[in-house]
Amino acid sequence: MTGQTTGLDTTELNTGQTPRAEIGVIGGTGLYEFLTDAEEVQVETPYGDPSAPVTVGTVAGRSVAFVPRHGRSHQYPPHAIPYRANLWALRSLGVTQVLSPSAVGGLRPEVAPGDLVTPDQLVDRTWRRIPSYVERGATHVPLADPYCARIAKTYAAADPSVKTGGTLIVIEGPRFSTRAESIHHAAQGWTLVGMTGAPEAALARELRMCYAPLCLVTDMDAGAAEGEGVDEDDVYALFAENLERMRTVLADTIGSLPDPAGCSCSSWADGKQLAYDIP
């Protein structure tokens, strides 16, 4: 999603109170438009600045905080996104559930360009990113099931065409896969390939937040289809074509999300002494 003028109210708050939000969205700037009563909030974090000021507004009668993953002008490539700052900023505003829309490539015949998919597994093949809030001591976060099943079910209920299940492999980027790499990924049985899903999922779990991706398949990866490799312009074009559909699914999901109280995405840390602070 590319940068655009949003018409947001960027005036300073006169009340001295920082807006709070219960649900977070990490995505592209095209999603600003589904927030009403939008207000920017400058959030300082121990991990530097988030990708952009957090925008807090209302969707389906619920308070939502939005962070453009790549920044306002798409200035952060996948390997340079301030992942820790983004998640920490959302948590500091009260967010306990995070929706993560993104563009991905398809690896298997069960998915095709234009499909919306919420995977249930993750393979992390990134290597330049700081993947944890643990900097000393020992806290070992459970991540056998990296995504929140409640959010995934709510995606599917919002739009029956949303496919559920499958494995997302996250590569370092910013380049696309070679054909040999893509063939290897598909041979492992993995379904989707993207560049931004890690370390978001692990960081959200460490902060005791529910998290689930909503992936739009924009292309079949280089080794999963004959012909030319993946082209950036084609990816952006297909994403733009499906932006309104994705906004609708996200809004309907936000309106129907159940209370996260007791979810294992948070309860895993009950009674534990964590090696880091949660805002």
At 18-43, the pLDDT tens digits run 899 999 999 976 676 778 888 999 99
Assess contact for 96 and 210: CB atoms under 8 A.
Answer: yes
The pTM is what?
0.90
Which residues are CB-contacts of 265 (< 8 A; sequence separation ≥ 6)? 148, 204, 205, 208, 209, 210, 211
Given the residues 37, 49, 219, 233, select the one marked as catalytic: 219
Q: Give me the chain's average pLDDT, please.
A: 90
The single residue of 115, 120, 124, 221 carrying the catalytic annotation is 221
- The 10 Å Cβ neighbour count of residue 164 is 14
Q: What pLDDT does 31 receive?
A: 72
What is the average per-residue pLDDT within 143-155?
98
**Predicted confidence band at 172 (pLDDT cuts at 50, 70, 90)?**
very high
pLDDT at 4: 31
Range of weakest confidence among 11-20, 112-121, 176-185: 11-20
Give the pairing of strands 36-41 and 54-59: antiparallel
Model confidence pLDDT, tens digit, residues 196-245: 999 999 999 999 999 999 999 988 987 766 555 556 677 777 777 888 89
233's CB contacts (< 8 A; 6+ apart) are none
* Alpha helices, DSSP H, located in 166-226: 179-187, 200-206
Question: For this structure, is 219 an active site residue?
Answer: yes
The pLDDT, as a whole number, for residue 30 is 64
Terminal-to-terminal C-alpha distance of the chain: 29
Check if the beta carbon of residue 117 is closer than 8 Å to that of residue 259.
Answer: no
Q: How many CA atoms lie within 13 A of 263 on its CB side?
A: 21
193: left (phi over 0), alpha (psi -120 to 50) or beta: beta
Query: What CATH architecture applies to the domain 23-259?
Result: 3-Layer(aba) Sandwich (3.40)
Q: Which amino acid is at 56?
A: V
Once rounded to an integer, what is the mean pLDDT over residues 2-28?
A: 61
